[in-house]
Structure 1
Amino acid sequence: MENTSATTPTPEPSTPVHEPPNSGTELEVLTGFIDSARSVLLRKTEGLSDAQLRTALAPSTMTLAGILTHMAFVEDYWFGFRVAGRAPSEPWATAPWEDNDDWDWDLAADIPTAEARALFEETVARSREITAGLGDLSVPVAKPAGEGEPWNMRWVLVHVIEEYNRHLGHADLIREHLDGSTGD
């Protein structure tokens, strides 16, 4: 797909970028960086058509809508399931993982992009409730892996930051390819 910036003007994004604090508690700084990444992802997906949100930058099959659904899964998995010990939320609880381990990415092709965005925003709201109640970040998560040393809350927060950063780089490239937009 060629760059369409000459024919489709890009409106100013309405989602403000959340700036992480320069100081604060460890929890405030780490969750501040996660909130910043969340806001950047939302901005990267604003002002585009459904077709654009579903357009990949070849040879990858990754799309902006797919990043939204994948990050909704990441939020639910790490904060809902691992940290809080809750059962996976829908649609993850009934997902056909045994048939498709990329189902969280592929879901975006099967639902309206507005639904993908809403799924992301709802999952983020649940994650914020969970992280707001965290105290000692050295405490192990409620649902550790079956073997090895359990993850602690600090590790999960840093891991989620790492996960966002990886995919925000992808989102930057996809968005620039779609309409020439760069920056946050």
Structure 2
Amino acid sequence: MTTPERTDPSTVAGEREMLESWLDYHRETLALKCAGLSERQLKEASVPPSGLTLIGLVRHMAEVERAWFRRTLADEQAGPLFYSDDDPDGDFHHGEGDTWDETHAIWRAEIARAREVAAPHSLDDRGAGRRDRATGEPYNLRWIYVHLIEEYARHNGHADLIRERIDGATGE
């Protein structure tokens, strides 16, 4: 596995560039938390009693990318990747046959598709798909970017703790 490169977001960029660069920063932070570990380590639940793993976090974030960009913004009929009605948290649950290479490729493909879906939209454009349950309002692209940044930042904190327990590695 090659070590991912992470670029610090500009301190003076315009709004869209700022949002996209922070989202990319957090995407690459998660990749860095997984870099250099064995398949076994990526599947290790190292913060008992939680069963959370690094590969589970990546699977979850693939689902998050898919849900917000493909289903919510573009109204694509893109079904779930890893969860089901029988296992609503299936994105966090990996099996013995699940591999890092496959998980990583799926996650990267969802990121690439998210970029394609978002590219033609302005930040004010409203999604054609899923709406807020409470208000019935659609989500605009700005809201989706901010939410994804928040989601990655939260889970990168989890990834940091998991990684530290696995091999002592810490960092930003």
Higher RCO (Cα < 8 Å, 6 or more apart):
1
**Cα distance in 2 for residues equivalent to 1:96 and 1:164:** 19
What is residue 118 of structure 1 aligned with on the other side? 105
Per-residue Cα deviation, 1:66-118 (whole angstroms, up to 9, x for no partner): 001000000011011111111115xx26x552111101111465411111111
Which residue of 32, 42, 55 maps to 1:65? 55
How many residues are matched? 169
| Counterpart for residue 171 of structure 1 | 159
Q: Is the 8 A contact 2:71 2:130 kept in 1?
A: no
TM-score of the aligned structures, taking structure 1 as reference length = 0.84
Q: Please give the alpha-carbon distance, in whole angstroms, between the structure 1 residues aligned to 2:63 and 2:19.
A: 20
CA distance in 2 between counterparts of 1:153 and 1:96 reads 25
Ranges in structure 1 where 5+ consecutive residues have no aligned partner: 1-10
* 1:159 corresponds to: 147
Contact 1:66 1:109 in 2 (8 A): no
More strand by share: 2
Q: In the alignment, is the contact (CA less than 8 A) between 2:75 and 2:130 conserved in 1?
A: no
CA RMSD of aligned residues (A): 1.9
TM-score normalised by the chain length of structure 2: 0.90
Which 4+ runs in 1 deviate beyond 3 A?
107-110
Q: Indicate conservation of the 8 Å contact 1:140/1:151, yes or no.
A: yes
Alignment partners' CA distance in 1, 2:26 and 2:58 = 12
Q: Note if contact 1:65-1:113 (Cα within 8 Å) is conserved in structure 2.
A: yes
Q: Structure 2: 5+ residue runs without aligned partners?
A: none
CA displacement 1:21-42 (0-9 Å, x = unmatched): 2222211111110000011111
Q: What is aligned with 2:24? A: 35
